[in-house]
Amino acid sequence: MQPSLERLLRHSLRGFAPYKPGTSVDEVKRRYGIEHPVKLSQNENPLGTSPRALAAIQKIATLSDYDEDDHATLRARLAAPYGLEVANVVLGHGSNELVMLVFNAFVDPGDEIVIGKPTFSLFRKDCDVVGGRTIEVPLRDGVHDLDAMLAAVTPKTKVVFVCDPNNPTGTRVERDALATFARALPADVLLVIDQAYREYMDASGTDGVDILRIRPATLVLRTASKIYGLASVRFGYGYASPEIVAWLNRVRLPFNVARPAAVAVLAALDDKEHMARSIDNNVRGLAQFASAFEKLGVTAYPSAANFVAVEVPIKAEDAFLALLERGVIVRSGDGLGMPGRLRVTVGTEAENLAFLAAFGDLLAQWRTRPLEVIA
């Protein structure tokens, strides 16, 4: 009898479930035979990739040599709008890598982090990997309860994560409330403000860099995956003090940003037309959803992102599967810590209409079912 290899696995990973992404278009085609599914599940830009980014990638002549590891030009371009220095910018293979670097650099086994519940699932997963302890603070009306999060901080707390706008609810915190919270945190606790959807927020939202200016122990995360339409090239970046950046660079992999990503992002940052069109599409899409939901008699959290978290009268997984059978791909709130809700990405006007037509038809059926307990 062969000995079990489970003894090789770290104790913190036993029973650990891997990250589960949204359902793919190809999967729906195979399973249901639907030729053109509508995908509103992964918060991608429905207008696609920045044209300038695509043009820049096509000009790459070779991929045979290693690109520079420092990416000083790109970091300077990211720093410039804020009057920051190159030393204030750290780059990652997606912002997800930067989250993992936070744990690799700062969290020892037994250390604590504080997060909202629900929020981006990788915060807890990455904490589990390093053997840390996650303190989850329930949201209040879908929004981070900053007072309760502050009360949850102990001498063992190393990191506090605020996802703003929050994934999966789409909500944002008030600017003054976040500033007050940041000032009240112990100076030796790292505040990570994950702003993957920052570009979709209106002028009343918080720019995390403003918090960095008043609190050095702050890391602000951004990504090229959303508004720039560059999810496939994997590029994230962060703003922090030079000291925090240097520590993160100690534990990142060398050459973690590939040349196609660096070239594409540098071009996309100057594509103001694509960004303006993307923001306009999102504003109109959110209004389209809000109007339809009001007529249908369902509620959704007010969204500052490019998606909505809408209530359903049945179990979220059942609602998700019913829409899937009609060729509409969304995310079940059951897998996101948000039972009784679906997370729906804002698409094009036509994609939104396709979702709303299917959702409206199904909603009438769901309401005729016996009352279910949503858990």
- In tens, the pLDDT along 262-294 reads 999 999 999 999 999 999 999 999 999 999 999
pLDDT digits (tens, 9 = 90+) for 159-217: 999 999 999 999 999 999 999 999 999 999 999 999 999 999 999 999 999 999 999 99
What gap in Å lies between CA 241 and CA 219, rounded to an integer? 8
pLDDT digits (tens, 9 = 90+) for 226-235: 999 999 999 9
CATH of 53-268, one of 3.40.630.30, 3.40.1710.10, 2.40.340.10, 3.40.640.10: 3.40.640.10
> Is residue 373 predicted with pLDDT exceeding 60?
no
Where are the chain's structural domains?
5-48+273-366, 53-268
pLDDT digits (tens, 9 = 90+) for 299-337: 999 999 999 999 999 999 999 999 999 999 999 999 999
Contacts of 185 (CB under 8 A, 6+ apart): 150, 153, 160, 191, 215, 217
What pLDDT was estimated at residue 372?
Answer: 53
> Is residue 375 predicted with pLDDT exceeding 50?
no
What gap in Å lies between CA 86 and CA 73, rounded to an integer? 8
Topology classification of domain 5-48+273-366: Aspartate Aminotransferase, domain 1 (3.90.1150)
Task: Give the least confident one: 13-27, 73-87, 202-216, 339-353.
Answer: 13-27
Smallest CA-to-CA distance from 165 within 198, 118, 209, 138 is with 198
> Is residue 67 predicted with pLDDT exceeding 80?
yes
Contact, 94 vs 101, CB < 8 A? no
Between residues 21 and 158, the one the model is more confident about: 158
- Tally of CB atoms within 10 A around 140: 13
What SS3 state is found at 40? coil
pTM: 0.95
What pLDDT was estimated at residue 102?
Answer: 98
Largest Cα–Cα distance in the chain?
65
> Is residue 371 predicted with pLDDT exceeding 90?
no
What gap in Å lies between CA 137 and CA 150, rounded to an integer? 10
- Tally of CB atoms within 10 A around 247: 18
The mean per-residue pLDDT over the stretch 83-104 comes to: 98
What pLDDT was estimated at residue 127?
Answer: 97
DSSP letter for 49, please. Answer: S
What SS3 state is found at 363? helix
Name the H helices within 59-94.
72-79
Token readout for 242 is 């030079």
> Is residue 1 predicted with pLDDT exceeding 70?
no
- Tally of CB atoms within 10 A around 57: 17
Sign of CA dihedral 291, 316, 39, 91: positive
Mean pLDDT for all residues in the chain: 95
> Is residue 374 predicted with pLDDT exceeding 60?
no
What pLDDT was estimated at residue 79?
Answer: 98
